[in-house]
């Protein structure tokens, strides 16, 4: 009887992960703010034989997430898997305090508030897995996405540290860094999305990495190589390449107008 907790389960990657992990004998705790979306989705999980448990909560609230954990732990054994997936891209480039605050509160603090309340019980049981959904955008500051990139960079450093402290207690941690995935978050993107993939394909790759307990689950490979190379280059060279790429895309999209 597996117990799985997923935040951001009302759309996109969270939904796809929940479906991929649904099987008879599994209890899926699904968390998001939009209760009506969770309700509609729960039926699909039930059809696959899993027991859906719904929690309408905001990951930015430590009290709300503590309440969720208390409910989950009150029902049965500690979770086998906690996936902190909820995240936002936000409006604007992140060069305003409000945007920066909102994105960091959701993507960084929200991930921490989703995981931390479960850790004492998981540590005591000496088992379980924690998964955090970051992004390849965390490797390098990209144009018009400063706050988003900063939030995902923070998750890389935080999860590297947390992984080290969880390992002796028998808890594995994976950070997932996807490239572009077709979801509500990217549907309105005005720029080209190289190597974009469906949420179902992304979920399949993530679940494979979870089974292997990979510390980093990153895909697609060409994007992984590109962002890792960009991160290694001197900043001026990286800036120049990004400017060239943006200019080329701007020109080709104007030709299409």
Ligand X SMILES: NC(=O)c1ccc[n+]([C@@H]2O[C@H](COP(=O)([O-])OP(=O)(O)OC[C@H]3O[C@@H](n4cnc5c(N)ncnc54)[C@H](OP(=O)(O)O)[C@@H]3O)[C@@H](O)[C@H]2O)c1
DSSP 13: H
88 binds ligand X per the rule CB under 6 A: yes
Stretch that binds ligand X, among 18-26, 68-76, 160-168, 178-186 (CB under 6 A): 178-186
Task: Report the nearest approach of ligand X to the CB of residue 113 (Å).
Answer: 9
14 binds ligand X per the rule CB under 6 A: yes
DSSP 116: G
Is-contact 126 169, C-beta < 8 A?
yes
> Which residue's entry shows tokens 């309105």?
188
Nearest to 77 by CA among 3, 170, 23, 173: 3
32 binds ligand X per the rule CB under 6 A: yes
Cβ proximity to ligand X, 105 vs 121, nearer residue: 105
| Among positions 72, 82, 185, 206, the unique one binding ligand X when judged by CB under 6 A | 185
Cβ proximity to ligand X, 3 vs 136, nearer residue: 136
Q: Which of 113, 139, 148, 191 is catalytic?
A: 148
Pattern 130-169, ligand X, x by CB under 6 A: ---x-x----------------------------------
Taking the C-alpha atoms of residue 40 and residue 255, their distance in angstroms, rounded to an integer, is 42
Alpha carbon distances (Å) from 63 to 60, 128, 160: 9, 23, 25
| Among positions 87, 90, 94, 141, the unique one binding ligand X when judged by CB under 6 A | 87
Is-contact 115 158, C-beta < 8 A?
no
Name residues whose C-beta falls within 8 Å of residue 23's C-beta, 6 or more positions apart in sequence.
Answer: 48, 49, 50
Residue 148 is a catalytic residue: yes
12 binds ligand X per the rule CB under 6 A: yes
186 binds ligand X per the rule CB under 6 A: yes
Residue-wise DSSP of 67-90: HHHHHHHHHSSPPSEEEE------
| Among positions 180, 206, 209, 227, the unique one binding ligand X when judged by CB under 6 A | 180
User: Which residues lie near ligand X (CB under 6 A)?
Assistant: 7-14, 32-34, 37, 58-60, 85-88, 106, 110, 133, 135, 178, 180-181, 183-186
Residues marked active site are found at 148
């Amino acid at each position: 009887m597996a117990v799985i907790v997923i935040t951001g389960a009302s759309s996109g990657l969270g939904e796809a992960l929940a479906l991929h992990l649904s099987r008879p004998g599994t209890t899926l705790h699904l968390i998001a703010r939009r209760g009506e979306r969770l309700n509609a989705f729960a039926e699909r999980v039930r059809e696959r034989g899993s027991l859906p448990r719904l929690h309408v909560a905001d990951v930015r609230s430590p009290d709300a997430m503590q309440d969720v954990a208390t409910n989950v732990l009150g029902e049965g054994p500690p979770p086998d898997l906690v996936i902190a997936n909820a995240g936002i891209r936000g409006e604007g480039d992140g060069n305003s305090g409000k945007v920066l605050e909102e994105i960091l509160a959701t993507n960084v603090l929200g991930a921490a508030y989703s995981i931390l309340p479960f850790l004492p019980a998981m540590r005591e049981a000496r088992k379980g897995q924690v998964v955090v959904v970051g992004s390849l955008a965390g490797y390098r500051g990209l144009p018009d996405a400063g706050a988003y990139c900063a939030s995902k960079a923070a998750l890389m450093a935080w999860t590297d540290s947390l992984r080290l402290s969880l390992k002796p207690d028998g808890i594995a941690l994976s950070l997932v860094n996807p490239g572009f995935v077709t979801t509500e978050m990217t549907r309105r993107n005005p720029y080209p999305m190289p190597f974009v993939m469906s949420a179902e394909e992304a979920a399949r790759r993530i679940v494979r990495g979870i089974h292997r307990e990979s510390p980093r689950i990153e895909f697609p490979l060409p994007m992984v190589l590109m962002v890792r190379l960009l991160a290694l280059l001197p900043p001026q060279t990286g800036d120049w390449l990004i400017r060239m790429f943006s200019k080329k895309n701007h020109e080709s999209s104007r030709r299409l107008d």
